[in-house]
Structure 1
Amino acid sequence: MATTPTPASALLPDPFGLRNLNQLVDENIAGLQAIWYTEASNLLTWPEVGALLIEQTLLLKPGATWYQLLSTRGSMRYKATPKDLGRHGSGFTHKLTGALAKHTEGLAAGLETLGGRRLVLLYRDLNGQVQLVGTPEQPCEFKDSYDSGDQPFGNRNGYDFTISAETARRARPYRGTWAVSGLGLQYAVELQQGNGGSVELRTAGGVLLATVLAGKTVILKSGFRLNFQVQ
């Protein structure tokens, strides 16, 4: 009796089907390293449908780049919250917050350019993972407030910022590259997924003691005189 062969496509796992939820058993560092943003209108390609992971590089208009936002150390935070949209389904509310120190003329001028802009952004956490937030149709919005004062009003001087968006999908993991405007806008630096830098601590004989990721603090203690070199 002849049997009908099973189509090859039926043997493949459904990319949108259920799967095991496995967490990586390794170091997990909380916090964000940096944020990069560009106007949503700069995007020439955008995968609206398909897998959550974006593996191809997003193309921008000629001359367009991503711009970097470096916050006060330890101040940046990202939070995504599911939102029930009733008969329209569901979505996610995204919120990134952080602080920018001082009240310099350059910083104030840069913040002014962000007012009312429709943005799409990338962020990299301290584990080296890159996520994309916002879409051309559901962009991010930037807001900031300035606060300065001595005790008893608070010993601080700087800006607090919030970047928010509401999208249909979660933040999308991003494996492509992105060109970031260089210092002074004279050039662009090409970045990719991964840690933004690490330092290896080794003995004089070359034995690896530890690998320290960006954002971590190194404390060297010894009961003897300690000599070291940074290479």
Structure 2
Amino acid sequence: MRREYIIGLLIGAVIFSILLAGCEENQESSNEIPSNQVKIEVKTGGDDGGVVALTDLLPETVFGVLNGGSDQPFMVGLFTSGGGDNLTGRAIYRFDISGYENKGFIFHVKCVDKSGNPGDLEVYLINDSGSLPSTSSEMSDVSEVWNLVERGEKITTVAPSSGQWITVDIPSSAIESKVTESGYITIMLKLKNEDLSSNMDYYSLSTYEYLQGSAKPYLSIPGAF
């Protein structure tokens, strides 16, 4: 009975919390690329979102939900559910780079909002997580996806600003070892320090469907032509 109660609270609260995060839109910053450069966007709602785990059970137990396809920003960091559960979120972005597997890329995602003092974000290239469910999955062991970062390659550390785009250079040498046979690469973002003594320190990052697709995460190829 207790487990079913927590499942209902967490799934509802994650959605509610993300909705709140998307309520305040900061001034749009320009992130245009030259028209002669290749631009690869997230293709579907199932290709971005992330994994959320119950903070108080980490690191021994990774129990939580997977979520993709939301029209609201995804919260990366530490926050609290409506039922009072402490949560930790990590964002996931998947891109089909078929035909460009030997290229380096620039990853672009908008930091819609910043709450508290979450510190730096770490950006990893990881083994493919697979498509994410279009609605929050039931509470379960999500360690398989959560721990992909342990076998991933850390690309860089960034300090996002609210309302600004994050840009990250990903070298071709990193792409080679992580691209799938179907041409996908997967990026994960997490707080550098997930052990903050807080539950309101997070970044809200744009998704495929956020603001009707006006701030889609994407890859560009520098000097493509």
> TM above 0.5, one fold?
no
Taking CA–CA contacts closer than 8 Å with sequence separation of 6 or more, which of the two structures ends up with the larger relative contact order?
Answer: 2
- Length-normalised TM-score, structure 2: 0.31
The structure whose Rg is larger is 1
- Length-normalised TM-score, structure 1: 0.30
Richer in helix (by share): 2
